[in-house]
Structure 1
């Protein structure tokens, strides 16, 4: 893809109280017509800030019920998959234009700078253009939505590269 590498900067503590910074470029993992990488995650809420391991490399699936930030790059003409996470998701289109499709077929084009608040609905991300798209997603814990008396949990989620 013609997108610049993803930089990740993490601050933490080392020793008694001195702050340190980890500044690096991370490789995205190819998954069909898309590439993605979890940049950081916590496995609980509230997050533990005193853990010294790299939480990005601890893949526990699509979403592990803490907080998560992930980058997704879509190749030109990429068609995604219909899915739902029982989480509150913030999607920020960083570059390009992506199409979001809901399960009823309604569609909207999301351009660079647009923010999508995804509240546990079935949805799909496509790239109908000839240019790559980058979207950053932040997933937060939420109670699964209840519609017509039925609890709607995760659905349609693929196994991600490196997933345990």
Structure 2
């Protein structure tokens, strides 16, 4: 049985992931053994140089690999929702934190959007918790083309 607030599908799929994807998810959402796992965190949406530096220290090489396409195997079929979410976090959130105030902050946007599209098109996003889905959908919000934010609105409304 899934822990309270956890999707049974998402919980059961963690065992199939490599440790790097698990490290990303545990860093961002907290380990699933902690009471505050999957709870909103203030550092997600505020400028925090220490938090940004911690991401760069722990995940800098992983970010570089993802930007170079070196983590594309995280999208193998059938699409594993948590592994795809970890890739979205690396490409969409970690790049924003570590590249703050530079063009590098947006370097993973196109790739993150592709992953988000794959999650939604496959229905794999529905195996994620509400908080996780918010991050899975953020690439639609971050995309500059007007059609992408229009895609995001109904997805976010499902979470309300």
Answer 1 or 2: which has greater helix percent: 2
TM tier relative to shorter chain: under 0.3
Answer 1 or 2: which has greater strand percent: 1
TM-score by length of 2: 0.26
The structure whose Rg is larger is: 1
